Structure 1
């Protein structure tokens, strides 16, 4: 009797040891396949995202810039590309690996051996957790610093123009007697412009325009004309600027403004934009923004704060999207189980476009803080994680 019990216990121990060894082999196999697929797709996505930089490099070559400068310029753009390439590569790798395993019936064989689905996807999940930490560092520190360093390199070439000096998302205080804020800028087109003009005794006029365009002055390379449209103007009494009774509020469909920026062009000073700020600097700008912008209206301050909050949320959402994407990619791979990589890559591109469209939507709603665009960027993250978790739980 005792011998029979001992034999049974020994058999169970050998089975447990064999199962543990099989699980270790399985973990190594899945981890290796996932990392190989991740690195291959990362190279592909990085190449695609570097196309724009390649054109810039060609332009620098044509201007006779040294090869070392061009190499530094190219490398400085890599971290900013990694912000988007790493999450996309995680999604692609998870889908391709588990889709192939499912199509070859390997997942079924593993589950028949007593290994559940959560144990099967555990290696990529652990790897994606490490990638999340890496993405946090890149998004919050490395990418902003490299982006700013790249702009400094461009500025050192003396290529700054009056249009380039009109940065979006910050108060421009360098124009004599004018304080200017531009929410968004695309080439020479502007959106949501606030302008304050100062006289000898204080504020003389405040201007808000829904949109505008910037045209260079052919007679003065250091000057531009800003054509403002859908304009609301508040004229102050210079002798009593603090008295709201004396305000005049005219409106205009079109209001041109000429700005002389010749004193700024060629200084070599590059002011940081939102994309150049580290996470510490962004949080500091949010915390002390009210004290710095004491003359800003509540509406202007709310828009400015929301633009910073959207930047913070976007960086964190992109960093943690690796975790959501690995769940979604693995779940879709197990469920669809197709070997054709073209079909999988098409599906991945659709999912990525849907994810990034919410980021673009949030950025476009910065001028409407009441809609909380800083929370909108988290919607695709939560949806992807919920769908991935639900599909895996259902299959399990």
Structure 2
């Protein structure tokens, strides 16, 4: 093993498992690890179905185990790792096996509801988690955080906004918080008229001005649904009341989150829009890990601006905030319906505005049926998620999509 640099604290090297190693967060995590030789060791990597890319990451990081979610990709992954000592597994149980392996930190970055079960398996095994999967908290936040407390597991927020809030809090008690703001860039449609947004194409919605992300989260950023989902996450991560959570549109994406305290003081988490910054913070916490991320130069930027969100042009944020206030299973319902509608938009079956309209209709349907009670556990939350997806697909079919 390479010697740890003298500037690195004695608590390192740290053993890591990366769930979602082939996605955008996984790639940035790989860059942070490779940029700090001797600081980290990789226990396991897991991905969805891209066997060749997963094998590349496993080799690059010297992983002990590589797990792929798609069972039919097992042979391809095994062939790609032939001649190495890296063990191979496939299927949902292999992902859970990777998550439960002995490590200091599990990076939960598998996108969508598919990431809930393996990340929960890490918590059940008593592993600290750096969380970049929204669904763990949006779909099953009560159960997930209850299990984390039961196991004494630390959940570190890896999303840029929540990580900024985590740093801005500085260990203060949630009781002293008066207000908490997550910022949104406003996405590609921030200055567009309602008529322009209504006619937006998937390519236009995917052209995010500041961040390079996967297609689903990029569409959510364009609709501001992403910010609503992040408010739901913040409620569970920081234990604050829904009424204390709000959103500011900040097109420069420099201030990622702000906290106002009961004495009138306000602290802000700031950094250039580069996921390597919050990733490095989580990987090294409570210590700091150097990165090659571009440094913030406020004089060069010159001005930082903030706006209130426009709920008329971006109704998805309003729908999400209603789900936040309602609680129970409503965030689960919101998230599952949104995933189906975003996929339908990307496939050009519905318009951009149809995303929020259909999600709101699904939420109202489940509320009228009295089916929005808080799921008792992870399994119940995933059952609600599955039911909502089926009903959402049925709605699209009934509408001729």
Do both share a fold (TM > 0.5)?
Answer: no
**TM value normalised by structure 1:** 0.26
Higher helix share: 1
Structure with the bigger RCO (C-alpha within 8 Å, sep 6+) is: 1
